[in-house]
Amino acid sequence: MPAYLIYICESVSDRDELETYWEKAPATFEGRDVKLLSVYAPFVHLEGDGPVEGVVIAEFPSVDDAKDWYNGAYQDVMPHRVRGAKYLGLIVDGGFTINVDERMPQTRTSLA
């Protein structure tokens, strides 16, 4: 099942570091089966707290493949991103959970 890497840029603190990151990050995908679905394309902010400065969405064959990328060559360029901006990063398993009782089980005990 595919997995999706989602990065949301919330703020930029050092544009030079961020540009270094943007220059080096594409090489981390070399030799990997990854589809870059949206990379800093225009977006419409519908809901939630902002700001949102940019969004990246990439598709990997699986969660394990996305984790392997993240824990591999990406670690060499990640410090530039961390120094350059504040991001929210996620790896999301593809598909959907039909059974409502199985959705977000971690919230069952946290709302008591």
Q: Where exactly are the structural domains of the chain? A: 3-96
More confident site: 3 or 95: 3
Token output for 102: 């199985």
Sign of the alpha-carbon dihedral angle for 95, 59, 47, 111? positive
Instruction: Name the CATH code of domain 3-96 (choices 3.10.20.30, 1.20.120.430, 3.30.70.100, 3.40.640.10).
Output: 3.30.70.100
Mean pLDDT, to the nearest integer, of 9-25?
97
Task: Summarize pLDDT for 36-66 with one digit per residue, the tens.
Answer: 999 999 999 999 998 999 999 999 999 999 9
Q: Which of 93, 17, 18 has the alpha carbon at shortest distance from 9? A: 18
pLDDT single digits (tens) 71-86:
999 999 999 999 999 9
